[in-house]
Structure 1
Amino acid sequence: MGFRYRKSLRLIPGVRLNVTGKGLSSASFGKPGSTLNMGRGGIQSTVGLPGSGMSCASKRSGKSALFLGLLIAALVALIYHAARGSRAAQVSLLVIGVLGVGAALMAQNSDTNPGLRQT
């Protein structure tokens, strides 16, 4: 008989990280009745009638989506805590925004000046 371990950690309402014995397994978004689960096996959406036991699930992608799920979970948690007045979350969002705009401008600038490379 094998032992299993599973734990669901609620970050904020509607966002959960699911942990198993092998480590972080997935990130889930949504409430009972409609959830989106992003994990190693891909992206799966589930729609159902809460309390009835009836649901329908469909797999969205065969590619690994765990990193994407964790990134979305972290951003949603940051936005939630920033809206509730956390200075650390507000500063983190500001830094992420400035870095994102800087990276976008650098990418745009490198696309418009391809002749600057030396051979």
Structure 2
Amino acid sequence: MAISPYSFNRRVQFGTAKSLVNKKTGGTVPTFVPEFKRYCAIRTRTLNQQYLAIQNDMKDSIVVVIRHTPKVNESLLAKLGDKVYQIIDISPDESNNMNTFDLITMTVAEKVGG
């Protein structure tokens, strides 16, 4: 996969959801807690891929590309900008090439605030 290093112009945080106490109400609220960061590039879908995403009820999902790392898995959440995403699928590149990349499909996490 040919990706320019200049495409990695955004920062994505990976972490988990922890229940923290809201100081104003005293109740617990699931909150994103970051563990590590990576530079990423947003992958643009082709028109055919967009149609397939709509058919599979994944029209609000996005695909990001990061350098290959075994640290990322489906149990983590990702924060990009001010939105928290649930990781749906990871397509890792485990070849012996020098530059390997992972494609991560994510959708907005409904129950976790920023």
TM-score (norm 1): 0.23
**CA radius of gyration, larger in:** 1
Normalising to structure 2: TM-score of the pair? 0.24
Q: In proportion to residue count, which structure has more helix?
A: 1
